[in-house]
Structure 1
Amino acid sequence: MVNRPQLVDQWGRPVKRAELRKEVSAPTLSGVRSPISGYPGNGLTPDRLAVILREADAGDPIRYLELAETIEERDPHYAGVIATRKRSVSQVEMTVEDGGETSHDLEMAQMVRDWLDRDELADETFHILDAIGKGYSFTEIIWDTSMGQWMPERLEYRDPRWFRFARHDLSTPMMIGETGQEEEMEAFKFIHARIAAKSGLALRSGLARLATWNWMFKAYTQRDWAIFTQTYGQPIRIGKYGPGADQKDQDTLFRAVANIGGDCAAIIPDSMMIEFVEAKSIGSSTDHYERRADWLDKQISKAVLGQTATTDAETGGLGSGKEHREVQKDIETADCRALAAILNRDLIRPWIDLEYGPQKRYPRLRIARPEPEDLKAFSDAIAPMIDRGLRVSASDVLDKFGMREAPASAKILTPMAATAAQPHPETGGSGAVPPESAVQYPFNTRLGQPGPRAPLQTQTRSTGLSEPLGVSVDRLQQEAAPDIERMLEQIEVMLEAATSLDEAKAMLLEAYPDLESDGLADLFAEAFLAAEAGGRALIEAEAEEADG
């Protein structure tokens, strides 16, 4: 019999494999974990809100959590920005990094990758991210052991009202048991997510704590706005009766005036009349109510998303839309890293321990948007290095471009240079005529890379020059060849490093004073002096022949 090592969680609690096969925190209608919620937001006042928050600080967060739920239901702006933040993270692709290079490490990582390919994962991570608003969340892992293996079948979001924190530190999570008492949570059974908006206790670190005050103040503003609109936004109905009207006629007129607003119909005697006075004659305005409500919404946008440009259109506001988007991107990146750390700690590592036992290296979950990369710059930089002998894995390059390795039976695209080197269909020669750029220029400017340069010719050319001058030209060409080669090598290095013709021009002008041209200049000076002397001697010889 094999003795398995005793597994413990991050709090030192031993793992009970039999308990992992059960649902331990499912809701019960008649028990203490009831899905029915209260509504502490009804008639909320500053005094009541302060009491609710103090209760949460003391370890009794039920009314605070119910109030946080109410705000998401009744405040469309808060619901929109908090959902935007959660959905932006839940839709980011998850990848798995291998824990090592052995076959065992690769097998564990592939098991996690296969499990991540689930349609339900986006919704499960969305509910885990409820911790952004309330400060923390609890998700029960439903393990599947039907085939003798351990695998997460699904992740069930649990109401945070069914959990508490230990009274001695207000940070160690506890579960409400069937008897209503606080019990230790089963190890390897829950994902305890905490994404804090500020440092401190989890009960005081959620964004909902900020939103409660903001929502209460906006509720007062909206109530006053509604009363103002009802009082001054509707026409005033005035009933008039004659001097001979008795009490019965007056009651009839009053009922008609009272009901005509909703029924839009009434019957009154000919001796009576109803007059409607338009509210616009009073000269009232509701701009201050709207401005206050908008200002409160902007504070929530700043708290949740870090900016206002993506939620509140404002002409001439501070900062551009791009800068505001960068702020939101920073928050998203932080949320992705926090969620990845939570899942690695509470899901991936426990799963590997249950399935394979404790490991030295574990596969790691990574949640991040791929950074855009300039593939052209990568190609221009890597090609000269490969030409100089750098060993680069083909799979790494293919991954950069998002391509897979072509199978042996696939039709392969060939580069233009390889095509040009094949036999010409008409001439049947061993090679086709090189491109025009390779003939006219020492560099293949069409491809942006140095092309083949023909070696400098040193043999005497049939130029039609006289024999003494032809010999001088051939000698100059032979003696100048080494200096020209060194100069061309320097120019080649600059052209290889340049990414455009303008950049190459600037590099050549910048490097011109430092080019090694002293030896070439001396050589040309000697050649010019010799040519002048030879020319004088040739003229004198021709003159002597003419005189003789």
Structure 2
Amino acid sequence: MVTPQILGPDGRPITRDILEEPQTSRVAMLRHEWQGHPTRGLTPSRLAQILDTAEQGDIVAQYELFEDMEEKDAHIASEMGKRRRAIIRDYEILPPPNPSAREKRDAKQLEEMMTDIPDFEETLFDVSDAIGKGFANLELAWHRVEGLWIPASITHRPQSWFKLARGYRQEILLRNGGQGEPLQPFGWITHTHRAKSGYIERAALFRVLVWPYLFKNYSVGDLAEFLEISGIPLRLGSYPPNASEAEKATLLRALVSIGHNAAGIIPEGMKIDFKDAASGDPAGFELMINWCERSESKAILGGTLTSQADGKSSTNALGNVHNEVRKDLQVSDCRQISSTLSRDLIYPMAWLNGLAPGGIRRAPRLKLTIEEPEDIGQYAESLPKLVGMGMRIGRQWAQERLSIPEPDEGEDILTAPAAAPATGLAALTAQPARQPVGDPPAQWVPRTSRAVGPAVTDWVDQIRGLVERAQSLEEIRDGLDTLYPNLSVDDYALRMAQALTAAALAGRYEILQEVAGGDGR
């Protein structure tokens, strides 16, 4: 018997040996590498150099810069947090299109296995790190649980641990001090997320944010310096012409002490004058800071009114428009991440556990639920009308629109209560319930309904035409008087008489049946 090969997402065969230990456990240099902080003393020329170096293949400094930006700029951290946490949604494991019974069972089993993955919400958040930085790599460590292959851990690795190799297509390699190692199949979740087209190192969203970050950093520093100078009065010390160097130093120490401690001493013959604090307007610095934060919000969330980056109140209508843009970003992010997780997490789990016999094309897939539930009340009112008009509406489509999951086999299902029995004429026109074939009343109800149906329909048509032509209630009243002779009441009375006769005969029949039963016959 030939053992089937395991094929990676790229179609290349792999062996289970590579699942025994994570790939980074064999590259010790990365664990002893300390993070740099390029934002310390960052200047425009230094920033341009970091970006140019990344384009030439050395991406370490660029991604260390991105880490610093997210750590030091509260506005970037806040806006990126909104966008990244927006993708932490409920999920479902779906079978491939037109699934067989086995493919449905495999998807259901895989969904149950997903509950064994520790802290899957953290995994979703870590994968979304690619939104700002262009790519994110999460390393998988596998173990066996009751005979099933399940990820024991899913660990985010810094972007500075990798290098980008250009070729026919760009490849992400693990740094090893040389040319780099290809990422081990079934060992990584690799998500690329481009803010614009191009090579990964230039397509990262943070490349757009580096200049607003730098300008804002300068403005914040200048504003802090301005406030320090303008908040403390200028102090001038005077010393006599024959003062020694030691006396001058004593006077200078006194000036500094007075500024910070509001107290000090000076030799006799010297004096200190206090001048007005420096005058100026900090509005220019604040204007620059606000412009930088608005630019950051536009780049991250597609607008400013969902973040109040302009510092002003906004109208509800404009806020809703900007929020719709933000929803578009959420939908796009969720779809991209769903595709990556389906390829790098769901397919390996399915294949290793024998749940993807048809390969990656027929493997189950993960879908983040991004659709908001529709108004059930509106659908409950409109769907019966649409179905009554002859529209063919799939049950699965309706359940997806209302976010109602497909019930499991054998699960209790809600059913509509039995309708109350109709009375009067409605009882004759209503659809009869199923009755035993030999029951005479049950046989005469539909017959009577069909008999009086033409007469009743003729009445309704004549009255409807009268109402449509009438201009007032009085005209309808007078029209009914004139319409009465045209109504076939005699025909209706004849049919009802037949129905009453049938009812009387049915009653006698039931009495005879009871008598026969009482005699034992």
TM-score after normalising by structure 1: 0.70
| CA shift in 2, pair 1:55/1:395, >3 Å | closer
Deviations 1:483-533 (A, max 9, x none): 323357899xxxxxxxxxxxxxxxx87x989xxxxxx989948959xxxxx
Name the counterpart of 2:514: none
CA shift for structure 1 position 133? 1.2
Name the counterpart of 2:95: 98
**1:137–1:160 contact (8 Å) kept in structure 2:** yes
CA shift for structure 1 position 250? 4.2
**1:256–1:267 contact (8 Å) kept in structure 2:** yes
2:304 pairs with 1:308 = yes
CA distance in 2, matches of 1:38, 1:408: 57
Instruction: Output the amino acid matched with 1:191.
Output: I
Taking only aligned residues, the RMSD between alpha carbons, in angstroms, comes to: 4.2
Partner-residue secondary structure (3-state), 2:328: helix
Partner-residue secondary structure (3-state), 1:157: strand
CA distance in 2, matches of 1:228, 1:257: 20
CA distance in 1, matches of 2:164, 2:454: 89
CA shift for structure 1 position 21? 2.0
Please identify the structure whose Cα radius of gyration is greater. Answer: 1
CA shift for structure 1 position 76? 1.2
Instruction: Output the amino acid matched with 1:362.
Output: A
Partner-residue secondary structure (3-state), 2:142: strand
| CA shift in 2, pair 1:293/1:375, >3 Å | same
**1:14–1:187 contact (8 Å) kept in structure 2:** no
| CA shift in 2, pair 1:77/1:378, >3 Å | same
Name the counterpart of 1:345: 343
2:287 to 288, 291, 298: 291
Partner-residue secondary structure (3-state), 1:326: helix
CA shift for structure 1 position 344? 0.9
Instruction: Output the amino acid matched with 2:288.
Output: R
CA distance in 1, matches of 2:470, 2:95: 51
Name the counterpart of 1:9: 9
Deviations 1:217-274 (A, max 9, x none): 2222223223333333322123355789766554333211112333343234576554
Name the counterpart of 1:111: 109
Name the counterpart of 2:63: 65
**1:27–1:35 contact (8 Å) kept in structure 2:** no
Partner-residue secondary structure (3-state), 1:145: strand
Deviations 1:174-200 (A, max 9, x none): 2223x5441222112111101100011
CA distance in 1, matches of 2:214, 2:481: 91
Name the counterpart of 1:197: 195
**2:140–2:154 contact (8 Å) kept in structure 1:** yes
Instruction: Output the amino acid matched with 1:5.
Output: Q
| CA shift in 2, pair 1:316/1:392, >3 Å | closer
CA distance in 2, matches of 1:283, 1:369: 54
CA distance in 2, matches of 1:174, 1:84: 30
Partner-residue secondary structure (3-state), 1:37: coil
| CA shift in 2, pair 1:180/1:104, >3 Å | same
Name the counterpart of 2:216: 218
- Residue identity over aligned pairs, in percent, reads 29
2:382 pairs with 1:381 = yes
| CA shift in 2, pair 1:289/1:489, >3 Å | same
Name the counterpart of 1:208: 206
1:485 to 460, 468, 473: 460
CA distance in 1, matches of 2:364, 2:465: 48
Partner-residue secondary structure (3-state), 2:24: coil
CA distance in 2, matches of 1:195, 1:260: 56
Name the counterpart of 2:489: none
1:55 to 48, 53, 56: 53
CA shift for structure 1 position 343? 0.6
Structure 1 window deviating more from structure 2 (294-303 vs 235-244): it is: 235-244
Instruction: Output the amino acid matched with 1:486.
Output: D
| CA shift in 2, pair 1:27/1:137, >3 Å | farther
Name the counterpart of 2:519: none
**1:15–1:186 contact (8 Å) kept in structure 2:** no
Name the counterpart of 1:154: 153
Name the counterpart of 1:176: 175
Aligned pairs for 1:113-512 within 5 A:
113-117=111-115, 120-169=119-168, 171-177=170-176, 179-240=177-238, 249-268=247-266, 272-279=270-277, 282-311=278-307, 312=309, 313-315=311-313, 320-356=318-354, 357-359=356-358, 361-384=362-385, 400=402, 418=420, 482-486=457-461
CA shift for structure 1 position 364? 1.8
CA distance in 2, matches of 1:190, 1:289: 45
Partner-residue secondary structure (3-state), 1:25: helix
Instruction: Output the amino acid matched with 1:286.
Output: P
Question: What are structure 2's unaligned runs of at least 5 residues?
Answer: 431-452, 472-477, 487-521
Name the counterpart of 1:83: 81
Q: What is the aligned length?
A: 449
CA shift for structure 1 position 210? 1.3
Instruction: Output the amino acid matched with 2:9.
Output: D
**2:141–2:153 contact (8 Å) kept in structure 1:** yes
Instruction: Output the amino acid matched with 1:105.
Output: E
CA shift for structure 1 position 411? 12
Name the counterpart of 2:435: none
| CA shift in 2, pair 1:268/1:211, >3 Å | same
Partner-residue secondary structure (3-state), 2:39: coil
Structure 1 window deviating more from structure 2 (330-339 vs 247-256): it is: 247-256
Instruction: Output the amino acid matched with 1:24.
Output: Q
**2:373–2:403 contact (8 Å) kept in structure 1:** no
| CA shift in 2, pair 1:318/1:51, >3 Å | farther
Structure 1 window deviating more from structure 2 (381-390 vs 230-239): it is: 381-390
TM-score after normalising by structure 2: 0.74
CA distance in 1, matches of 2:68, 2:391: 62
Name the counterpart of 1:458: none
**2:38–2:61 contact (8 Å) kept in structure 1:** yes
**1:197–1:207 contact (8 Å) kept in structure 2:** yes
